[in-house]
Amino acid sequence: MFDIYLIRHGETEWNVEGRSQGKLDSSLTKTGVSQAEAIARKLADLNIQADAFLTSPLGRTRQTASIIANHLKLPDLKFDERLAEVSVGSWDGLTHYDIDAQWPRVLDGSTHFDWFFRSPDGESYEMAVQRAKSWLDNTSGVVLAVSHGLIGRIIRGAYLSLPKIEVISLPVPQDVIWRLSGGKIERIALE
């Protein structure tokens, strides 16, 4: 039994530039800082009594978690590699234009949602799903977790046992808290 509040990190400089971050990092923008502060306010309004406060070890999630922690009384922050973003290998840090220039036509026929898994040396969808399931299977209590866009999709999809096409097209806004509880996912919008 668990009650997970899943959060995506705030907007980063590379989000704005259209760069894939994967295992690399860029700092939060002013908007990203504001998003993290708004999430903290919403969590305070919800009066969540977390048993665990977890984050991906990557900088953008650590920065978001730090902002949240400054506004709330939470358990000590712990890092969990299973919450880290899916790596697209040598495509980490690149734009679609960069990828197409270095690997011509590799993205042909891909969609906005499935191109991540075309990288010749990135993490496969199946590997990411196993990581997400491992995290879900080993989570209990009330958990506040700060993660990323793609792995956040996969965590939610694994929780609901959705097929891949639905999982990779789930929305990944940076101003929402996803509550996973009782076999359902609730979208908690910020006001």
Annotated catalytic residues are 9, 85
Domain parsing of the chain, residue ranges? 2-189
Domain at 2-189: CATH architecture: 3-Layer(aba) Sandwich (3.40)
Average pLDDT, the chain: 95
Task: In whole angstroms, give the CA distance from residue 12 to residue 128.
Answer: 22
Question: Per-residue pLDDT for 191 more than 90?
Answer: no
> What pTM did the predictor assign?
0.95
What is the per-residue pLDDT for 160?
A: 98
Q: 106-157, pLDDT tens digit by residue?
A: 999 888 778 888 899 999 999 999 999 999 999 999 999 999 999 999 999 9
Count Cβ atoms within 10 A of the Cβ of residue 182 and give its class: 0-12 exposed, 13-18 middle, 19 or more buried.
exposed
20-54 tens-digit pLDDT: 999 999 999 999 999 999 999 999 999 999 999 99
> What are the tokens at 163?
């097929």
Q: Which residue has the tokens 């980063």?
A: 12
